[in-house]
A and B are shown apart, each in its own frame.
Chain A
Amino acid sequence: MSEKSYRDAIRDAMMEEMDRDPKVLIMGEDIGVYEGTFRITAGMLKKYGPKRVIDTPIAEAGMAGTAVGMAMLGLRPIVEMMTMNFAIVAADQILNHAAKVRYFSGGQVDVPMVIRGPQGVGVQLSAQHSQSFESFYAHFPGIHVVAPATPADAKGMLKTAIRGKDPVIFLESAALYGMKGEVPDDPDFTVPFGKSRIAREGKDVTIVSYSRMLQLSLAVADKLSKDEGVECEVIDLRTLRPLDMDPVYASVEKTHRAVVVQEQWKPFGAAAEIAASITEACFDDLDAPVYRVTGEDVPMPYARNLELLAVPHEEHILRGIRKVMYVAE
């Protein structure tokens, strides 16, 4: 084990896989000479050269589409989207092509590619640079959607993504890039998709989350335990597609209460799917309706005070817990 930042864990995963397999390459905007907007790819051009670390024009459809073609011909491209907001430009390439060629070819090709980049709220990045896309991508069959909450998971799941046979949307939280955590040193350490993780055990209420909101949920759980003796069980979904709900159901059978926490907008969001699934599977176990903690239903404003009002904070998670426990605020 070594202590690593989320950022370094992502870089380590890519470089270890590039060392291991010459078929792995990376492309993106300003990832080479410029060394990356978030410096995830710093040093990679120097080490691997321009054939494997490809600076592309600002052309997301071109990046994603060429990656699909490379993957169909046996390479393992990683596409860095400067932010996932820009990947919408490549929606046709990702959703109509990457996600479907295996199926409409009757399984004649693998499409081993990763599209990765940061998403979610930053600091005053305003409406076009602060969005979350997990429910958007997770709606579509044919791709996997990953949203790691820790450096270890970031490394282990990115390796699984690179070694796989399918397109993976790898959603990073820019706000977590500096977060440190213990990461296994074994170059073959991987974290499988479709395995939710119990991040904290508890008996009173189940909190379900992923990515940055998982960290926020853990902070609330610790505080509640210390201050009020309420024990939250916190579950990290890790991957939105495939979605592993069984540990969530087992937890709800025990706690009878569930709060789902996401940064993205409430309507048709990931929490809606999770809450509906809990209701279908655990209706008789529930002592309260599943509560959703979400961002406000508005484009992200620029003004700092408005931005802070738009996203969920600890107090909102706390409010959700009190609500499902029928405790007055």
Chain B
Amino acid sequence: MAKAKRETSSAVADPAGAPEWTELLRQMILIRRFEEATEREFRKGKIGGYLHVYIGQEAAASGIISALDEGDIVFCGYRDHAQALALGSDPNKVMAELFGKGTGVSKGKGGSMHLFDVEHGLYGGYGIVGGHLTLAAGAAYALRYQDTERIAVCYFGDGAMNIGSFHEAMNMAGLWGHQGMCPIIFIIENNGYAMGTSVERHSALTDLSARVRAYAIPTERVDGQDIFAVREVADRVVQQVRETGKPFCIEVNTYRFSGHGAADLLQPYRPKEEVEKHRQRDPINILRERLSEAVSDDDVKAMDEWAIDVAAKAVRFAEESPQPEPHELFEDVVAEHQPRPVRESEHE
């Protein structure tokens, strides 16, 4: 389950007396260092398949998820490591999952795109752009159907807004919201690009929030590099959605500093100057400056060393972990009537 919320942002508006903001700074630094480690391990060939890191967008994960209560649930796309860490997943198990090890959060069967940690409220990383939006809307219905106060959060990128399931999910969420049966916060992680296609080139209407409002879902846009701003909106919206059972959408304007995926090295779709310009608004530095009175340079250095150490330990744990047992190939396909091996002799 998500960690129980300690304080609201208004209660911690004064950074000097704000242990929670310090904690969020530490979390964002951990996400950054963890993601850097995954990129290194990908280049070494220790992590296979696809790898999409969250560097530059950390405030979108930490700012929203820190506003949630225990029992709230999160769905996201394939750029999902940060959400797992923000929800409290064990970094060792997340790294082991990326390494394809049996100790991973999903026993090594999901990998980077399909992190899953139900115990901490993470109902998946999904690899088909926009596909998970309908799942999240249904999950929100189920939470309210079962008379709980829990809410769902669904992250997706600007690139997910052009596929049919986005529109079907929004419309059904809007309809169910009329009856107070869809407590969900949709988070548009608008980082300006659907892979390499800019918003101007992929969306006929570049006001992305307006497209959500077309389904009777209210929206709010926020500077996604400033976690104070993100958290302030999140606190209000979480409370509102929990009380009303109606969906809400937050458009978080952010930017990914790394490539789309670990293999996106050349990035011909955006000039280097653009990336440099956005790097000047690093969400970690912005928070750090806001906390300058409460958190010294030495404090930050200590946090950074801690984060580097946690990431390094996670890599070591992943490396030393065993591969999944061969019999795992056939486990978890279905609950009953597990398929028989085609090559029986290899699996005796």
Contacts and interface: CB of A to CB of B under 8 A. Distances in A.
A33 interface: no
Nearest to A68: B135
Contact of B131 (A77, A93, A166): A93
Contact of A73 (B111, B131, B142): B142
A42 to B, nearest CB: 23
A275 B107 CA distance: 37
A51 B145 contact: yes
Contacts of B73: 73
A66 B135 contact: yes
B334 A102 contact: yes
A92 B335 contact: no
B124 interface: yes
B105 interface: yes
Given A56-B172, A92-B128, 8 more contacts: A51-B145, A51-B181, A65-B133, A66-B135, A72-B123, A73-B139, A104-B110, A164-B336
B114 interface: yes
Contact of A164 (B140, B141, B175, B335): B335
A97 interface: yes
Contacts of B111: 104
A50 B145 CA distance: 11
Interface stretch (A107-115, A170-178, A221-229, A299-307): A107-115
B287 interface: no
A57 B168 CA distance: 9
Interface in A140-172: 141-144, 164-166
Contacts of A166: 334-336
Interface string B306-348: 0000000000000000000000000111111101000000000
A144 B332 contact: no
Given A68-B138, A193-B336, A57 B114 contact: no
A101 interface: yes
B48 to A, nearest CB: 15
B290 interface: no
Given A51-B145, A194-B337, A67 B128 contact: no
A77 to B, nearest CB: 8
Contacts of B110: 104-106
Nearest to B182: A66
Interface string B136-156: 111111110110000000000
Nearest to B125: A104
A65 B139 contact: no
Contacts of B138: 65-71, 73, 77
Which among A69, A71, A92 has the highest number of chain B CB atoms within 10 Å?
A: A69
A69 B136 contact: yes
Interface of B: 73, 75, 104-111, 114, 116-118, 123-124, 126, 128, 131-143, 145-146, 164-165, 168-169, 171-172, 175, 179, 181, 331-337, 339
A64 B134 contact: yes
B165 A106 contact: no
B177 to A, nearest CB: 13
Contact of A193 (B105, B131, B333, B337): B337
Given A66-B138, A96-B128, A144 B337 contact: yes
Contacts of B141: 66, 69-70
A109 B131 CA distance: 18
Given A73-B142, A105-B116, A106-B105, A65 B335 contact: no
A103 B335 CA distance: 10
A59 B168 contact: yes
A104 B114 contact: yes
B164 A61 contact: yes
Interface residues of A, number: 47
A105 B108 CA distance: 9
Contacts of B171: 57, 59, 62
Contacts of A61: 134, 164-165, 168
Interface in A58-93: 59, 61-62, 64-75, 77, 89, 92-93
Nearest to A57: B171
Contacts of A247: none
A108 B106 contact: yes
Nearest to B116: A105
Contacts of A68: 134-135, 138
Contacts of A260: none
A129 to B, nearest CB: 21
20 contacts: A51-B181, A62-B168, A65-B138, A66-B135, A69-B135, A69-B137, A69-B142, A70-B138, A72-B135, A74-B146, A92-B128, A93-B134, A96-B128, A97-B131, A102-B332, A106-B105, A107-B331, A141-B333, A142-B333, A144-B337
Interface in A12-61: 25, 50-51, 56-57, 59, 61
A289 interface: no
A202 interface: no
Nearest to A102: B332
Contact of A144 (B108, B124, B179, B334): B334
A312 interface: no
A194 B339 CA distance: 11
Given A59-B172, A65-B134, A69-B135, A105 B106 contact: yes
Contacts of B165: 61-62, 65, 92-93
Contacts of A184: none
A123 to B, nearest CB: 31
